[in-house]
Structure 1
């Protein structure tokens, strides 16, 4: 995906702080995400990557700081959280599909319950997104009948069906084997080509290298560095960052 400086800012995180039982997890995170771009959030386990996503879409409430979404502070107490979550598509680490529903019904559920669409219109919309993910022929299958990569595609179709302004990924390849991981890299790359705005938490260096987006390195609850993948992975001045990615290459 071609990055441009002319894109308007969709999302801005300012000084975000989150503590659990007085233990700081996010310690003043700043982040800017322009429209039509992707940012990859990387860092060691426990550095606050997933907590950051959950604070932004208000699955959990931050202790301090602001999240500015299309010019609106969505950390305010009067924020319509339900509407906010419709505007932020969330693809969870372990897919979070309903086991008792088919792939099609997993995608139509939000359209019918949250958007108020008729069954017929929801099916049309869902089938279009499943086709986009090359999953139309599997629409009648249940999650237990799908591979990990297929479940991930259904989860992405479900998120896209709501026409979100931005798509969040929480470790999109961590539950997949290497072959399926490469398939999902291809899916995300295609979404980049379609100018879908994305914020992706990942430990997957191959994914970060394959996608033309900035990498935000989070450590001890703070943004330590941001830049292109190669600049961070190969020759960064910070020894902690060099050590992290050197360890990743050895694993």
Structure 2
């Protein structure tokens, strides 16, 4: 059974269709990359999957549970899905360590010492242990994104969602995040990554889904989609 199964997912805002029949499967330990032009529904897809917004219709099965049911514990679901936001979403008045421990203390009820130990483990994994006491204003963009990843991983999620993880970063910092994603892939962390960054999609070696006008038009290895594809929309986007 797949970790995540999506069938005929639809989402509309004010009569405008954003997602129009999405089918998607993500296996345990798999990385998939969702790409497509701006406004095609990529970020909306992620927000539907962890129920930040409620889809209009369709089916979302997460580890065998239908999370579209009215009685779904949405708060518990979100604790199992790590979400790394495009703009980092760090609290400016908290240190890197405090940003990572916040969810552990408030949502998991962990004691401060245990939360600090868990957070330092994940910050160390991101090569940020020496920056634990720094505030976001004292960190580079790449470091802030790695703090956000550490925060998500500290909650021990079943899957990690990335929403445009390199869009706010320069090429050097983007390579930092690509290296982190590749390390997580080697560690068999399940990931779904939304991006318009062609370099990221090429480097992380996950299967690529091409989304346009609310529909997944193709899925395959990056080398298949980045070549001389038969569909002119896919060819125009990747070339």
TM-score normalised by L of structure 1: 0.94
Residue of structure 1 equivalent to 2:180:
187
Displacement after TM superposition at 1:235 (Å): 2.2
Q: Which runs of 4+ in 1 moved over 3 A?
A: none
Residue of structure 1 equivalent to 2:91:
98
| SS in structure 2 of the partner of residue 168 of structure 1 | strand
- Report the Cα distance in structure 2 between the residues aligned to 1:241 and 1:181, rounded to whole angstroms: 24
- Report the Cα distance in structure 1 between the residues aligned to 2:135 and 2:215, rounded to whole angstroms: 40
Displacement after TM superposition at 1:211 (Å): 1.1
Displacement after TM superposition at 1:236 (Å): 1.4
- Report the Cα distance in structure 1 between the residues aligned to 2:200 and 2:207, rounded to whole angstroms: 12
Residue of structure 1 equivalent to 2:24:
31
1:169 aligns with 2:169: no
Displacement after TM superposition at 1:27 (Å): 0.5
Which among 125, 130, 136 is matched to residue 132 of structure 1? 125
- How many equivalent residue pairs? 239
Which among 126, 145, 150 is matched to residue 152 of structure 1? 145
1:208 aligns with 2:166: no
Residue of structure 2 equivalent to 1:12:
5
| SS in structure 2 of the partner of residue 17 of structure 1 | strand
C-alpha distance after superposition, 1:154-182 (max 9, x if no partner): 00000000000000000000000000001
C-alpha distance after superposition, 1:125-144 (max 9, x if no partner): 00000000000100000000
Residue of structure 2 equivalent to 1:4:
none
Gaps of at least 5 residues in structure 2 are none
1:239 aligns with 2:229: no
Gaps of at least 5 residues in structure 1 are 1-7, 247-251
Residue of structure 2 equivalent to 1:44:
37
Residue of structure 2 equivalent to 1:113:
106
| SS in structure 2 of the partner of residue 234 of structure 1 | coil
C-alpha distance after superposition, 1:3-46 (max 9, x if no partner): xxxxx410011111000100000001000000001000000000
